[in-house]
Amino acid sequence: MGSFEGHLLSGSGLLLYSIYYSSLMSLALLQKQRMPKHLLLPRKMLGCRLFFPVSYEAVVKVVIPAFAILCEYYYPLGVNHLMMIDWKDPRRLFVFKDTWQHVTMFGFFILSGIAGIVSQAKQASWSVKLERTGEALAFYVVALLMIAHIENKSVLEIRVHLLFVLPAFLLALILTVEIWVPDNAPLWVLKSWMGLVLSTWMLQICEMYIPFTGQPWRADNPTDLAFVTIFFCWHLVLGVTLLIAIYGLCSLWHHHYSSWTKTLGARYQRCLMESSSEELEKLNAEAVAQDGGV
């Protein structure tokens, strides 16, 4: 959906996912984990028992893009963009180019979610590689289609979408490296940062549809074009700020949880008794004497 609602849905979903992954990454760094651990769905849901572990992340990758595809075809209510070729026209023209580009992007994210579900079910040595390959492929497709998406657009739209391609392509490169080096902490941080930048920039595009100043952006104004690039640089800083804030909150939770578990452990420590201790020998002697006297 090349509209305010479409960019808002995509940007909000991507932002929530980026915050979720940044939280997992922060906890993995604090707990010195080899890799971030997925949060798994309960094994019993809606009266049905799951046959294998499934993460929230994989389900979100399938459900949200599937909903977005339905919106692409049938939103606003009453429209139908499911047709790809106008068969009534003798020239057999392709129609709804933007819709099919968006559907293709969402479709690859669904494939990424399916790859995640399969990798979590198998738990084999190649599982992580399959999951990272699916994610990298999805972002390569985003970058490729966004480059094609700017054809016959205004200068402003071209600038905005090229700046969107940059973090998407960097994310794809990072995920490609993670196929072979999944346990590299700096890559986790870079991936979280680029994900936050990509999502906040998508929300910035929403602002261009409904400007907070009340005045529309002008594609023929060099000043407006310059400020688009300036705002993108600010989004780079905003991504770092959000990442630091998420890490700080996770650090507070981790220290609070660690101190709580230590307090519990100290409160319920078992009394360790060694067989060689003098007190244990004295108690045993007294018990034997009492048994002999009965």
User: What does the pLDDT read at residue 294?
Assistant: 40
Question: What value does the mean pLDDT take over residues 256-271?
Answer: 58
Burial of 293 (0-12, 13-18, 19+ CB in 10 A): exposed
pTM of the entire predicted model? 0.82
User: What does the pLDDT read at residue 262?
Assistant: 58
Q: Which H or E run includes 49?
A: strand 48-49
What band does 217 get if pLDDT is binned at 50, 70 and 90? confident
**pLDDT of 144 over the 70 cut:** yes
- Rounded to the nearest integer, the mean pLDDT of the chain is 83
- The answer for residues whose C-beta is within 8 angstroms of residue 116's C-beta and 6 or more apart is 55, 57, 58, 61, 131, 134
Whether residue 136 contacts residue 175, with contact meaning beta carbons closer than 8 Å, is answered with: yes
Three-state SS across 61-120?
HHHHHHHHHHHHHHCCCCCCCCCCECCCCCCCCECCHHHHHHHHHHHHHHHHHHHHHHHH
User: What does the pLDDT read at residue 29?
Assistant: 92
Whether residue 108 contacts residue 127, with contact meaning beta carbons closer than 8 Å, is answered with: no
Question: What value does the mean pLDDT take over residues 171-176?
Answer: 95
Q: CA angle 79-84-87, nearest 5°?
A: 100
Q: What is the dihedral of CA 35, 41, 42, 44, to 10 degrees?
A: -140
User: What does the pLDDT read at residue 293?
Assistant: 46
User: What does the pLDDT read at residue 275?
Assistant: 46
